[in-house]
Amino acid sequence: MFGRMNRRYDVVVVGGGPAGLAAALGALDSGVSRVLVVEREPEAGGILRQCIHAGFGLHHFREELTGPEYAERFVTQVMDRDIDVAPHSYVTGLAVDSSGHRLVRVLSERGGLATVECRSVVLAMGCRERTRGAVRIPGTRPAGIFTAGLAQKLLNLDGYLPGRRAVILGSGDIGLIMARRLTLEGCKVEGVFELMPYSNGLTRNVVQCLDDYGIPLHLSTTVTRIHGRDRIEAVTVAPVDETGRPDAARAWDVPCDTLLLSIGLIPENELSESLGIALDVVTGGPKVDSTLATSLPGVFACGNVLHVHDLVDFVTEEALRAGRFAGEHARQIRRPRDAIALVPGANVRYCLPHTLSADRPHTVYMRAKTRMSPCILRVGNLLERRLRFVVPAEMIHLTIQPELLERFYEDRLQIDLLPVDGGGVP
Amino acid sequence: MYDVAIIGGGVVGCAIARELSRYHLRTVLLERLAEVGFGTTKTNSGIIHAGQQTTPGTLKGLLEVRGNAMFDQLQRELGFGFRRCGELVVAASAEELASLERMKADGEAKGVPGLEMWDAQRLRREEPNLSLHLVGALFAPSAGVINPYEFAFALAECAVQNGVELRVEQEVESIALRDGGGFRIHATVPSGPGAVQAGLGAVKAGPGEDSVAGVDVEARFIINAAGVHADKVAALVGADDFIIRPRRGEEYLLDRRLEGIVTRLIFPVPTPASKGILIIPTFDGTLMVGPTAHDQDDRFDVPTTTEGSEEVFATVRRLCPSLDARATIAEFAGLRAVSDTGDFIIGPSRVPGFFHVAGIQSPGLTASPAIAVHVVELVGRAGLPLVEHDQFNPHVAPPARFATQSHEVRQALVEADPRFGRLVCRCELVTEAEVHQAVDHGARTLDGVKFRTRAGMGRCQGGFCTTRVMQILSRRLGVPFHEVTKRGAGSWLVIPMAEDREAAMTEAGGMSAGDTTAGAGEEAPCSDA
């Protein structure tokens, strides 16, 4: 029930975005009955609430939805199946009592600072945007510098334009979407500037959000200086060499009153860190086994808090699984311990989960370090797939069936992305 | 007519205002920016120096040691963030060790308490993350870290509570000598009406004060505490006996994850130009590194630079190799007011009644309370009657910080005021009640709330809290959402969407931020194996 929060649950889900909502449903599917979703906003749905453009759900629902529509389908199911959702609520900490129950501390206006007891916890806090400080853009500190997501929230949820003449740094998907959105609202977008020689967003977004509107994408170019005392007045941009160093001789100034930053997302793991959960330095999220359990017993993770996804459909898939395993854990069902470490090899930035077992199918997610076309995906000496191309911006997923691991007796399985003509095929 | 007008609401002007508020006087504090402490003070390194690094025999050296000793009582009265964490001046060679020995002797002669020489072994035991190349250090236990903006806010609030009038967004344009003594100060307002900040509410320009043409303020004495603009202000009455040259310093604030890497202030051996680039374990737990020191002519332009960032990290990594530029969450720069005399300029000018408090560069923050006592004494000697107020209240209520409280205290806070149950800033755990408190205590802008509550200072740098804080400010100040500013005139944040554009919000088709078909091409790698 929306707005209800009892003192005892089987599973508590931290975060009511797409990951949290699916995790709650997954938990219920596993046979538990008491599930709570803790959400800091007044409504569930997470970042999808401000993603008013279409294009969500092509994998999961086989149809094209807007962000709020995609979220609504899950909110409706959550409400129909009597899952409790506590809005305006925030998890401040987690402890374990002497009988092994998890104690979740929840802060809210209505409930004060409450303690909720449960057997399993699912972390689904999502991610946050990288800011100016993280990339150290030199210059002054005027008003008018926003992360793309904050600008999207101001525009789509609050009804305010961030400015009239914008420059966008970084070609992440939110930045591309905002380039189109601002243009439609009458704000002139001077261009999108990307440090890397390729876009960090999906190809489709580059075409549909920039090309279709005549907004230039400047690759291998970055903002080297911010100008303006009270409000931003201009930025200096410059091409960069292969090492990312700007060439000051070829720099030029772009007058603007707004700078949007779309320079990457970081899993939001302050709570995980405060609990002492082991994190992966590459993904920025928890280390998880094949049940998506973290290093803290009874605590699971899924969605963008685990690793940054580009498609919400995969968040949903991952979160349904995490919820099911969390529910099983609450019912004291135990799975065999994983015996195989999954290790990123050539041109693989990361792969998840960190370990596998040989008793059931596993979905593995991974990202390439650099573009490769065509490409061989090799899983140890068990499997090879030919891929037309891989790019860092698009996550790769793979299902490994148990038959494949039946006669695998090693403890380490490496995944490589190899060039086709580079001797990758034995 | 006021008895005293103070020009400049930085930490020095605010300290003087509070000191004057002990007496039966009419005092006005004029500040150019939207709030006090928004200039050099806000960008200060936040160090209360022990005093051994300053040249003996200077006014600086004298007021620094005196000022340092005043901070424990000031902290009890005003509740700003302050901790005596101690400082280490570290040596990388035998020559540097020898200069630390001289520094120790100088410091002891000035009365700096508790100075100790540490050998390499002691240094490693106390600060194990410092470079293995360091051979020893001078330890000064009385040094500390402070949140300089909180200090300025509290000083100003205390002064206002004891009768000082604070006028913000007042830029002094001319100063005329009045017939019969005293001065007439003409101040213009950068944009919009100037506010008289008194008690809880901001009061618009008074009756008869034309907010476009500016306002006139008459005063018997003027104290010029205008920081990097002090020589320009002095020139308005022909008292420009010195030149101020701004010296820019860049600072880099690092992620809270690095908390505890060092526990004391870490200084290199100083050079004549600067105390060097240092590692500052701030009061709030984050590490800060900087500042650089580069002279410039512009008094408004405060950029950070690529060169500055490289200089800072190259230098601090020699002291502590694990400090990485990638841990930066925010960067900023400030201007030191460096005078051509090499020392503080405090006292009467050649124009009777016009007093200088100029050239207050490092250790100006440390010295500020002692400067205030010193200058009030000098103005008293020049004829200002100093009759003590028996109603003077030295205390201001410190803000209730939800984030730093125990579970039990948090529970009590939420029970007493449910607004403590509404989270506004998730990185620094700031609640709605604290934002309201900040407004009660004088915050008028997004930065005013940020520097009073820490909302927006954490790793997401305002991504989450900006709209929440803007909504509260809009309600509390009685202005539309889009009139809330970052830090006053000109720093607007958003434009309201015209109503006729509402229809256009239903966007024509297209794909999405997170969504498209097929991850990696026709031979999709999502097949079962």
Q: Which residue has the tokens 């009890």?
A: B76
Tell me the pairing of strands A120-123 and A299-301.
Answer: parallel
Query: Residue A422: its pLDDT value, please?
Result: 55
Q: Do B330 and B347 sit in the same domain of this protein?
A: no
Q: Are residues B197 and B232 in the same domain?
A: yes
A145 contact residues in B (CB cutoff 8 A): none
B178 and B216, same domain (yes or no):
yes
> Does residue A33 belong to any structural domain of this protein?
yes
Burial B94-111 (b: 16+ CB within 10 A, else e): eebbeebeebbebbeebe
What local confidence, expressed as pLDDT, does residue B400 receive?
Answer: 87
Task: Note the pLDDT tens digit of each residue in A15-60.
Answer: 999 999 999 999 999 999 999 999 999 999 999 999 999 999 999 9
What residues of chain A score a pLDDT lower than 50?
423-426
For residue A3, being part of any structural domain is answered with no
> Of the candidates A216, A235, A263, which is a domain's last residue?
A263
Q: Is residue A5 part of a domain?
A: no
With an 8 Å Cβ cutoff, is B300 touching chain A? yes
pLDDT at residue B398 above 90? no
Amino acid occupying residue B13: G
> What is the predicted pLDDT for the residue at B190?
67
Q: Write out chain B residues lying below 8 Å of A230, CB-based.
A: 486-491
Residue A244 confidence (pLDDT) = 86
The H or E element that residue A379 is part of is strand A375-379
Q: Is B292 on the interface with A (CB under 8 A)?
A: no
Percent with pLDDT over 70 in chain A = 99
Q: Say whether both A44 and A118 belong to one domain.
A: yes
d(Cα B209, Cα B214) in Å, to the nearest integer? 7
Q: What is the number of domains present in chain B?
A: 3
CB atoms within 10 A of CB A254: 18
Q: Give phi and psi for A94, each to the nearest 5.
A: -150, 135
B309–A398 C-beta distance less than 8 A: no
Residues A27 and A121 in one domain: yes
The Cα-based distances of B205 to A100, A135, A152, B210, B480 in angstroms read: 63, 42, 37, 8, 19
Residue A16 lies in a domain: yes
Residue A164 sits in a domain whose CATH number is 3.50.50.60
Record: contact A54-B511, CB cut-off 8 A = yes
Residues A202 and A136 in one domain: yes
**Residue B508 falls inside a structural domain:** no
Residue B235: phi and psi, rounded to 5, are -65, -25
Looking at the DSSP bridge assignments, the partners of residue A222 are A238
**B311 vs B520, residue with greater confidence:** B311
Give chain B's count of helices (H) and strands (E): 12, 25
Residues B96 and B168 in one domain: no
Q: Which of B457, B228, B172, B175 is nearest to B360 (CA)?
A: B228
Is the model's pLDDT at B509 over the cut of 80? no
| 8 A C-beta contact, residue B173 and residue B226 | no
> Which domain, by its residues, includes A356?
340-419
CATH number of the CATH domain containing B7: 3.50.50.60
Is the link from the previous residue into B291 a cis peptide, with omega within 30 of 0? yes
Does A290 touch chain B if contact means CB atoms closer than 8 Å? no
Contacts of A311 in chain B (CB under 8 A): 514-516, 519
The C-alpha atoms of residue B188 and residue B198 are separated, in whole angstroms, by 20
C-alpha span between A208 and A201 (Å, rounded): 12
Q: How confident is the model at residue B105 (pLDDT cuts 50, 70, 90)?
A: very high
pLDDT value for A111: 85
Same domain, B234 and B276: no
Which of A:189-218 have CB within 8 Å of B?
A: 201-205, 208-209
Residues B261 and B282 in one domain: yes
Question: B52: closest CA among B147, B141, B148, B122?
Answer: B141
A112: distance to nearest CA of chain B, Å?
Answer: 5
- In a shared domain, residues A193 and A238: yes
For residue B102, is it within any domain? yes
Residues 6+ apart with CB under 8 A from B522: A388
Domain membership flag for residue A60: yes
Residue A59 has phi, psi (to 5 degrees) of: -80, -50
Integer angstrom CA distances of residue A36 from A70, A83, A106, B399: 21, 6, 11, 34
What domain range includes position B268?
83-144+247-337
| Average of per-residue pLDDT values in chain B | 89
- pLDDT of B515: 37
pLDDT given at position B80: 96
Query: Chain B contact for A395, CB < 8 A?
Result: yes
> Residue B66 falls within a domain, yes or no?
no
- Number of neighbouring beta carbons within 10 Å of residue A139: 26
Report residue B192's pLDDT band, with 50, 70 and 90 as the boundaries.
very low
Catalytic residue numbers of B read: 49
Contacting residues of B for A129, CB less than 8 Å apart: 460, 463
Q: What is the DSSP letter of A336?
A: P
Residue in B closest to A41 by C-alpha: B423
Between A and B, how many CB-CB pairs are < 8 A? Answer: 249
Cα–Cα distances in angstroms (integers) from residue A92 to residues A274, A313, B339, B414, B427, in the given order? 10, 29, 49, 14, 11
List of chain B residues whose C-beta atoms are within 8 Å of the C-beta of residue A133: 253, 328-331, 461
Check if B529 contacts A (Cβ < 8 Å): yes
Site from B515, B522, B523, B527 to mutate, A interface, most A CB atoms within 10 angstroms = B515
**Same-domain pairing of B155 and B36:** yes
Give the total number of structural domains in chain A: 3
Check B331 against A133: CB less than 8 A apart: yes
3-state SS class at B22: coil
Among the partner residues B460, B505, B511, nearest to A55 by beta-carbon distance: B511
Nearest by CB: A136 against B331, B496, B517: B331
Q: Cβ separation of A109 and B422 shorter than 8 Å?
A: yes
CB contacts of A155 in chain B (<8 Å) are: 497
* Nearest-CB residue to A399 (from B481, B519, B529): B529
Which residues on A lie below 8 Å from B493 (Cβ)?
143-144, 162
Q: For residue A299, give how far its alpha carbon lies from the nearest alpha carbon of chain B (Å).
A: 21
Q: Is residue B73 part of a domain?
A: no
Judge if B333 and B260 occupy the same domain.
yes
pLDDT at residue number B527:
34
Q: Do A310 and B514 touch (CB under 8 A)?
A: yes
pLDDT the model gives residue A325: 98
Which helix (H) or strand (E) segment is A135 a member of?
helix A132-135
Cβ separation of A53 and B414 shorter than 8 Å? Answer: no
End-to-end CA distance of chain B: 88
Dig out the tokens for A351 from the structure: 């792969």
Q: Are residues A304 and A189 in the same domain?
A: no
Instruction: Tell me the chain B residues in contact with residue A229 when contact means C-beta distances shorter than 8 Å.
Output: 300-301, 490
| Interface contact B519-A401, CB threshold 8 A | no
Asked if residue A6 is part of any domain, the answer here is: no
Q: Give the residue-averaged pLDDT of B224-231.
A: 97
Q: Are residues B104 and B223 in the same domain?
A: no
Q: How confident is the model at residue B506 (pLDDT cuts 50, 70, 90)?
A: very low
What does residue B254 show for φ and ψ, rounded to 5 degrees?
-105, 160
Q: What is the mean pLDDT of chain A?
A: 94
Q: pLDDT tens-digit profile of B153-180?
A: 999 999 999 999 999 999 999 999 999 8
DSSP B21: T
A361:B528 CB<8 A: yes
Return all residues near B416 (Cβ < 8 A) that are at least 6 apart. Answer: none
Is the domain of A294 the same as that of A399? Answer: no
Contacts of A417 (CB under 8 A, 6+ apart): A346, A347, A348, A368, A372, A375, A376, A377, A378, A387, A390
Structure tokens, A171: 């070609």
CB contact under 8 A, B410 and A109: no
Give the model's confidence band at B213: pLDDT under 50 very low, under 70 low, under 90 confident, else very high: low
- Crossing angle of the two packed helices B59-78 and B94-110, in degrees rounded to 10: 70
CB contact under 8 A, B426 and A88: no
- Exposed e or buried b for every residue in B281-299, given b needs 16+ CB within 10 A? bbbbebbbbbbbbbeeeeb
**Together in a domain, B263 and B315:** yes
CB B375 within 8 A of CB B346: yes
Q: Do A399 and B331 touch (CB under 8 A)?
A: no
φ/ψ (deg, to 5) at A23: -65, -40
pLDDT at A406: 85
3-state SS record for B457-472? CCCCCCCCCHHHHHHH
Please report how many Cα atoms fall inside a 13 Å half-sphere around the Cα of residue A349, on the Cβ side: 20
Q: With pLDDT > 90 as the criterion, what percentage of chain B qualifies?
A: 80
CB contact under 8 A, B309 and A181: no
| Minimum distance, in Å, between the CA of residue B1 and any CA atom of chain A | 33
Structure tokens of B155? 């000083």
B418 vs A: CB within 8 A? yes
In this structure, what CATH number is given to the domain that contains residue A407?
2.60.40
* Predicted pLDDT at B197: 36
Q: What does B45-83 look like in DSSP terms, one character per residue?
A: --EE--STTSPTTSHHHHHHHHHHHHHHHHHHHH---EE
**Cβ pair B418:A273 closer than 8 A:** no
ipTM of the complex: 0.93
pLDDT of B208 reads 42
Decide if B515 and A313 are in contact by the 8 Å CB cutoff. yes
Considering only CB atoms, B520 lies closest to which of A185, A273, A390, namely A390
Looking at the domain assignment, is residue B75 inside a domain?
no
**Cβ–Cβ contact B503 with A under 8 A:** no
Q: Nearest by CB to A388, which of B303, B502, B523?
A: B523
* A312 neighbourhood in chain B, CB within 8 Å: 514-515
Asked if residue B476 is part of any domain, the answer here is yes
Tell me if A71 sits within 8 A of A21, measured CB to CB: yes
CA distance B160 to B145: 26
B268 in the same domain as B121? yes
User: Is the model's pLDDT at B523 over the cut of 60?
Assistant: no
SS3 content of chain A, % helix, strand, coil (to 5): 25, 35, 40
CATH number at residue B425: 1.10.10.1100
Are residues A15 and A121 located together in one domain of the fold?
yes
β-strand partners of A362:
A400
Q: With H, G, I as helix, E, B as strand and everything else as coil, classify residue B12.
A: helix
Same domain, A123 and A107: yes
Instruction: State the Cα–Cα distance between residues B378 and B348, nearest whole angstrom.
Output: 8
Residue A80 belongs to a domain = yes
- The answer as to whether B491 is a domain residue is no
Evaluate whether residue B529 is within a structural domain: no
In a domain, A1, yes or no: no
List of chain B residues whose C-beta atoms are within 8 Å of the C-beta of residue A105: 407
Residue B211 pLDDT greater than 80, yes or no = no
User: Which residues in chain A touch residue B455, judged by CB atoms under 8 angstroms apart?
Assistant: none
Handedness of CA A403, A408, A409, A412 (dihedral sign): negative
- Could you tell me the end-to-end alpha-carbon distance of chain A, in angstroms, rounded to an integer? 57
Q: Which of residues 152-171 of A touch B (CB under 8 A)?
A: 153-155, 157-164
Please name the helix (run of DSSP H) or strand (run of DSSP E) that holds residue A26, with its range, or none.
helix A18-29
Which of B253, B460, B529 is facing A404, going by the closest CB pair? B529
CB spacing of A387 vs B252 below 8 angstroms = no
Residues B180 and B226 in one domain: yes
Which tens digit of pLDDT belongs to each residue from B345-377? 999 999 999 999 999 999 999 999 999 999 999
